[in-house]
Amino acid sequence: MTVKSSEPVSANALCAKCVRRCKQPATAVLVECPRFFPMPFRVERYRYDQLDLFGDDGG
């Protein structure tokens, strides 16, 4: 049985820069993470594929 403390746990430096919720505590030493997704992120080229549902046949 685990007891949750009311004080917030600070995430380590790598996890603090990541969007995902799987944050590790600051005491954990991480060299790399396979799930790392940096934040903030930008989309270089916007694609609107959902607008092409019916193709471009002109029909």
Q: Predicted confidence band at 23 (pLDDT cuts at 50, 70, 90)?
A: very high
What is the C-alpha to C-alpha distance for residues 22 and 36, in angstroms, rounded to an integer?
10
- Helix %, strand %, coil % for the chain, to 5? 15, 5, 80
**For 3-24, what is the mean pLDDT?**
79
What is the C-alpha to C-alpha distance for residues 35 and 40, in angstroms, rounded to an integer?
15
Q: What is the pLDDT of residue 47?
A: 62
Q: Per the confidence metrics, is the pTM higher than 0.75?
A: no
